[in-house]
Structure 1
Amino acid sequence: MGVVNVTPDSFSDGGLWLDADAAAARGRSLVADGADLVDVGGESTRPGAQRVDEATELERVVPVVRALARDGVAVSVDTMRASVAAAAWDAGAALVNDVSGGRADPDMLRVVADAGAPFVVMHWRAHSAAMQDADHTHYDDVVADVRTELLLQVTDALAAGVAADRLVVDPGLGFSKTGSQNWEVLERLGVFADLGHPLLVAASRKRFLGELLASHDGLRPAADRDDASAAVSTLSALAGAWAVRVHEARPSADAVRVVARLRGSTRD
């Protein structure tokens, strides 16, 4: 899953693809580099980010989704708004990736269920502006607690009519989790792969990788974390992940092909 952030303030590539034509071209480039899905988002969810209004998000996202879908690209829409999910679905999106797992907008689960859309349920506790506050990053056992809370979100989605075979789960690396908690989740990805739904892992370029690679000059810049991101993609594939969400597709596409070959499977 390749990332296209149609935003001015995303932590890694904010402003690079704000123009719709540039964003669509970026999506095509990601596909050429091996991405199977292109995840288009118009609202940054980096720690501390403030929400954008609905009209702005629609204006950013829908033209890019439509252009890519017209070219035969499988597109997921990264949104917490039911109205944006619906508009993107109508424009040709193939999947809804909601970092709130249906909790930010009370209409989201109904919209997804009515459309029959595949839906990513990510572990989520709070919006970006507050998600790293101490009360949102406290866990008795981060893996066990995230698993329990994620299953509650899955239960809510099923109760709303989302089909079980349409659900993907994501443990939410970087969302309401400290750096050390992210590593604990990564170490035990199998717990989430065993939930009975495809597993999405989204670690690409995140701060905990920058902390790991830090030097005396400070954090490794986000754009220089792709090798570490590909390493996480390898670990995720070994743990049975369905997809990894990444900013650069080629290194991770190569990594998962290596894992697939070692497992005796094939991939064109």
Structure 2
Amino acid sequence: MIEGYDAVKYYRPTNLDDALKLLAGDPDARCISGGASLVAMMNADLVQPSALVSLKAIAELQGIRSFPDGLIVGAMTKHQIVANDSRFTGGLEVIRSAAANIGHPAIRAVGTIGGSISLADPSADYPAALVAAEARIEIASHRGRRFVPAHEFFITYYTTALEPDEMVVAVHLAAPPGASVSAYRKVGRTEGDFATASVAFCGAFSGGQCTFARVAVGGCGDTPVRSAEANALLVGASPNSASVARAAEALVGACDPVDDVRGSADYRRLLVRRLLPRVFAQASQKAAN
């Protein structure tokens, strides 16, 4: 039992199979990684798990592994590890930038990528970056494993494609084309806060013009916002092209923001209009260098 939570059992398995068996045996059990978000939700009576399954002792879930076709990030990899890893370059730099924008150093030292994306807060930093990078989320249960594209993993506010007996075990990132670049920017009320709005960009440039583009917006809908129209408008554009502003308007049209303590819906739309040109120009500059 956990002190202060007399009805909550606590397990600390040392291998993935045991963790999955515990989840399969109790549909009300929850995985706990860094714990910052889950414990806060428990304190606020937003969730009441019957048991907590700690993932801290499972070596398989730790660290970043390189392969010829990309990177695999274990679910228990801390934000600070991702933020400081030089292997996130080119089109994958957006992931490192997102990690570096999460909270404060103390939060980045304990929070994990698996825990963050499993919470599925649309104002968090990872979701938009993972969607722009076309990441795949590896999910496991006692029944086996499956892979879900990031844009399908996030279903709505605080809801993912995970079934009750499933957990995130890794994030798979395909090696981007050699000439690719990426950028990430967000605006928050204060330093370290969740995003009022954020924009993640992955793409490539040749001769100063964009040759492919993938954009995702955070904080402006129940999931990261994508727009095929905006991506198409950016192809062939340079930072000073009028089509960049049109792409921003296409993104704004795809957004469905709300009014909350971080800002109004109209303010969020304004931020998207401002952030996309800046992110696009930043990526273009990286390509030029």
TM-score range, shorter chain: under 0.3
- Going by fraction, where is strand more abundant, 1 or 2? 2
The structure with the largest alpha-carbon Rg is 2
Q: TM-score, normalised by structure 1?
A: 0.26
Q: TM-score, normalised by structure 2?
A: 0.25
- Going by fraction, where is helix more abundant, 1 or 2? 1
